């Protein structure tokens, strides 16, 4: 009988990591989920703990990683990924995108495994080219508040390419645009959970700036399919995966108010420093190379996501901060 393929997924208890665990379990892989639980939540993967082909390592990927036996694939998805999170834990954000990927690549080299890294539209910064194709080099402020995330992810791409060209490690780079769906943290600061949480608590929706900035939101199942296809492809250059359906944040607030059937008002707050004015993926490459494009419309995806948030307990809904960051912050 053929051996089950073995895959290490870092950031396994996070929003995307946990959906990836589900997908690879469904494909009959042996999945090792790794997470230090700074921003991840065990409840996202609790349902997998009883399976014989799932293991959980409570470990910080920025420290030396040991995986016994053979290993076929590594997905590096560990990282704080919302502006609020990486402002709270900037050093860990830099470490996971540098030391963390270095450990993953070293492990991949030792095991002959293929590595796929989660990169981001943030490598384009506040883009002056629109929509953003992979060839665009970006407009990033290295010393602004987003610098810790953007530059970590840019370094991550650079070291991944270096291991590919210098050591011949098989690598894949996905640039993920705004993605949403069940298991996002209600209070991670991102616009979608922020708006839905506010509507559910009967609060006004907070628009940062005048709301004319745009984003393009991809439903999580579409993204996971794109990741799966890229991993199994033979393409080692970066590929954008996202939904090109672009909307302004002001219009998005209106959509959420309609969706939740509330009569909340919007209020305006200052625009955060270096907040990108526009963002839309050019997915020509994903279409051509992966034969991939998003299938779930925003109205369908938002409905599923809203149902998920509605099912959370009142306690969870009202909790201001799930995470005890302080105990992890090493100064
Ligand atoms: N935003 C907002 N109100 C909020 C949270 C976010 O208007 O309560 C805006 C934010 O300034 C940005 C956009 O929504 O322009 C998307 O923010 P998010 O944090 O979700 O992710 P980003 O794409 O900026 O990384």
Condensed to tens digits (0 to 9), the pLDDT of residues 126-159 reads 999 999 999 999 999 999 989 999 999 999 999 9
Q: Is 256 close to ligand 1, i.e. is its CB under 6 Å away?
A: no
Tell me the CA–centroid distance for residue 318 and ligand 1, in Å.
20
What pLDDT, on a 0 to 100 scale, did the predictor assign at position 320? 54
Instruction: Give 44-47's long-range contacts (Cβ < 8 A, gap of 24+).
Output: 44/13, 44/14, 44/15, 44/17, 44/18, 44/183, 45/12, 45/13, 45/18, 45/21
Q: Is 278 close to ligand 1, i.e. is its CB under 6 Å away?
A: no
| Ligand 1 atom at minimal distance to the Cα of residue 213 | 15
Q: Supply the pTM of this predicted model.
A: 0.95
Query: Per-residue pLDDT tens for 196-237?
Result: 999 999 999 999 999 999 999 999 999 999 999 999 999 999
Tell me the CA–centroid distance for residue 213 and ligand 1, in Å.
9
Q: Is 190 close to ligand 1, i.e. is its CB under 6 Å away?
A: yes
What number is the average pLDDT over the span 179-184? Answer: 98
Contact between residue 36 and residue 29 where contact means Cβ atoms under 8 Å apart: no
From the centroid of its chain, how far is CA 318?
24
What number is the average pLDDT over the span 281-298? Answer: 98
Q: Is 248 close to ligand 1, i.e. is its CB under 6 Å away?
A: no
The pLDDT confidence band at residue 329, using thresholds 50, 70 and 90, is very low
Q: Which domains does the chain have, with CATH numbers?
A: 6-179+217-241 (3.40.50.720), 186-216+245-278+296-327 (3.90.25.10)
**Nearest residue CA, atom 3 of ligand 1?**
207
Helix (H, G, I), strand (E, B) or coil at 269: strand
What's the mean pLDDT when you consider all of the chain?
94
């Amino acid at each position: 009988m053929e051996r089950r393929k073995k895959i290490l997924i870092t950031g396994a208890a996070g929003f995307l990591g946990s959906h990836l665990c589900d997908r690879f379990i469904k494909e009959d892989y042996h999945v090792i989920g790794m997470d230090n639980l700074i921003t991840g939540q065990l409840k996202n993967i609790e349902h997998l703990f009883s399976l014989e082909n799932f293991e959980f390592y409570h470990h910080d990927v920025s420290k030396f990683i040991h995986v016994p036996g053979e290993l076929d694939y590594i997905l590096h998805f560990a990282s704080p990924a919302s502006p609020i999170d990486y402002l709270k834990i900037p050093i860990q954000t830099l470490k996971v995108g540098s030391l963390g990927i270095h450990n993953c690549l070293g492990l991949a080299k030792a095991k002959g495994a293929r590595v796929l890294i989660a990169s981001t539209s943030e490598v384009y910064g506040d883009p002056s080219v629109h929509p953003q194709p992979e060839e665009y080099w970006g407009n990033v402020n290295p010393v602004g508040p987003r610098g810790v995330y953007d530059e970590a992810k840019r370094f991550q791409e650079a070291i991944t390419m270096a291991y590919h060209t210098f050591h011949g490690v098989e690598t894949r780079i996905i640039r993920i645009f705004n993605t949403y769906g069940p298991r996002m943290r209600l209070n991670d600061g991102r616009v979608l959970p922020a708006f839905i949480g506010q509507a559910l608590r009967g609060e006004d929706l907070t628009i940062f700036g005048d709301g004319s900035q745009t984003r393009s939101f991809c439903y999580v199942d579409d993204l996971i399919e794109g990741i799966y296809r890229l991993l199994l492809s033979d393409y080692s250059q970066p590929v954008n995966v996202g939904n090109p359906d672009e909307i302004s944040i002001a219009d998005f607030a209106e959509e959420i108010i309609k969706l939740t059937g509330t009569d909340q008002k919007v209020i305006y707050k200052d625009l955060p420093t270096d907040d990108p004015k526009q963002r839309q993926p050019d997915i020509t490459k994903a279409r051509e190379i992966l034969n991939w494009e998003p299938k779930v419309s925003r109205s369908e995806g938002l409905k599923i996501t809203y149902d998920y948030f509605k099912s959370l307990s009142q306690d969870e809904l009202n909790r201001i901060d799930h995470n005890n960051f302080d105990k992890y912050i090493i100064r």
